[in-house]
Amino acid sequence: MNRFMSAEHDFTSTIASLAPPKESNEKLLPGGIYVLVAAMAGSIISRNRNILLRLATPIVTGVTTAHYVVPRTTQNVGNLVWSYEEKYPVVRDNHLRITEGVRHFVETGKAHSQMGLAMAEERVQGVREAVEDWVKKGR
């Protein structure tokens, strides 16, 4: 009987540790509803696509919304998942590798967008100078 009571206590304390602190003013009920609606919207968006996209889109939209709407709770859930992943080195290493790959992808995207913006500004400047030259010459 003590084993079951201990298991129940561990479970309830784990669930209670996921809740945000009171001073964060994070409301779980509307936030949870927003996350579910976003996940359903992701499912609707990808309904006529291939199976991998139909699986990934609701998860991505739900997790992204959770990071925005209930950030403390999402961080607590992430910490709990990480504590379970640390027990299995293969899973932990794959998680770290994927996280680093995504971070590199995002940083590369930011760098390319900045380069594209700089190129566009140069082209606009060149066109502006050409038009000003035409106006000065009276064409």
What's the pTM?
A: 0.68
Distance between CA atoms of residues 56 and 99, nearest Å? 16
pLDDT digits (tens, 9 = 90+) for 115-129: 999 999 999 999 999
- For residue 41, give the nearest of 68, 59, 66 by alpha carbon: 59
Residue 51: what pLDDT?
Answer: 92
How is the chain split into domains, by residue range? 25-87, 89-139
Residue 120: what pLDDT?
Answer: 96
Residue 136: what pLDDT?
Answer: 87
Residue 6: what pLDDT?
Answer: 87
Amino acid at 48: N
pLDDT digits (tens, 9 = 90+) for 36-90: 999 999 999 998 889 999 999 999 999 999 999 999 999 999 999 999 999 999 9
Residue 14: what pLDDT?
Answer: 85
Q: What is the DSSP letter of 21?
A: P
Query: Which residue do the tokens 């609606």 mark?
Result: 37
Query: Which residue do the tokens 């038009």 mark?
Result: 131
Q: Any residues with CB less than 8 A from the CB of 49 and at least 6 apart, and which?
A: 57
